[in-house]
Amino acid sequence: MLEIEIFDFKMENPLILASGVVDMTPELLRRAHREGAGAVVTKSIGKEPRKGYDNPTVVELPYGLINAMGLPNPGWEAFLEEFRGEEFDFPIIVSIFGGTPEEFAFLAEKLQEIADAFELNLSCPHARGYGMEIGQDPNNVYKVVKAVKDVTEKPVIAKLTPNTSDITKLGLAAEKAEADAVSAINTLKAIAIDIYAKRPILSNKVGGYSGPGVKPVALRAVYDLAKALDIPVIGIGGITTWQDAVEFLLAGASALQIGTAVYLKGFSVFREIAHGLEEYLKKEGFTSIKEIIGLALNV
């Protein structure tokens, strides 16, 4: 009932562990799958190791998190060494980031032996020289996607920033460059201030806001992208309950990434959402999750 196929992936359900949350080792990825994730996205991997920002890097709010980790990662060589030879019976989507189209292409070429697909992190709002600064320009999105598509036959997903006046322009640029899908949204640029210290809380000052508070923004982005694009849209942003998941599917998402909810509620959130989806489909008279994708687009 919950099985889906996206690209050439067959997934037991449409739920995917998002990048940046409990995704540091092969065993953690396996645990996410055991707990109900249909696929997983790795941490974002760059060309060189990055320590990331000093603490504090996370602020918990009533309706989500602001984080400014600074893209910490071991670099592509150490990542490849850790994952080489590991076997997975579920799709592994490798997230990569870079400062130029050439860096993205280099990483895709080096890591394709362990990737079932690539997600291009074009939208990190707090890492200077990476992500959002590239991903806000449709021309840059096109160039990065095209560069990666030129070096790999693996599916390519462009992860889009919400920090733009029109996200569909970014999606159309990715589609024109032959991206296999887009994922939306990455975090919203945000800040939190300590009223007693009278200064920003995060060491980087600015971070990315995620969690339940961004859901209406993310849902609108997915809705707009699904209406504008012919390629699949993977929904991300505040998905915490099965009801949230249903909304994103009705808005046109073909699959769903869950991140902050795992941080806040634990791995069990995957099974909770999957169970709720199954019960909803039965009560509403559907036999497959595919039957509800995009139903809200043409009303």
Q: Which residues are annotated as a binding site for FMN?
A: 19, 43-44, 121, 159, 185, 211, 237-238, 259-260
CA-wise closest residue to 95 among 35, 150, 30, 29: 29
Q: Do residues 26 and 18 make contact, with C-beta atoms less than 8 angstroms apart?
A: no
Catalytic status, residue 169: no
Q: Do residues 209 and 132 make contact, with C-beta atoms less than 8 angstroms apart?
A: no
Three-state secondary structure readout of 122-189: CCCCCCCCCCHHHHCCHHHHHHHHHHHHCCCCCCEEEECCCCCCCHHHHHHHHHHCCCCEEEECCCEE
Number of Cβ within a 10 Å radius of residue 118:
27
Partners of 6 in beta bridges: 9
Partners of 120 in beta bridges: 96, 158
Binding residues: 19, 43-44, 67-71, 121, 159, 185-187, 211, 237-238, 259-260
Measured CA to CA, the distance from residue 18 to residue 16 in angstroms comes to 6
Catalytic residue among 37, 124, 239, 253: 124
Which tokens sit at 150? Answer: 């030129």
Q: Which helix (H) or strand (E) holds 81?
A: helix 76-83
Measured CA to CA, the distance from residue 154 to residue 96 in angstroms comes to 13
Which positions are annotated as active-site residues?
124
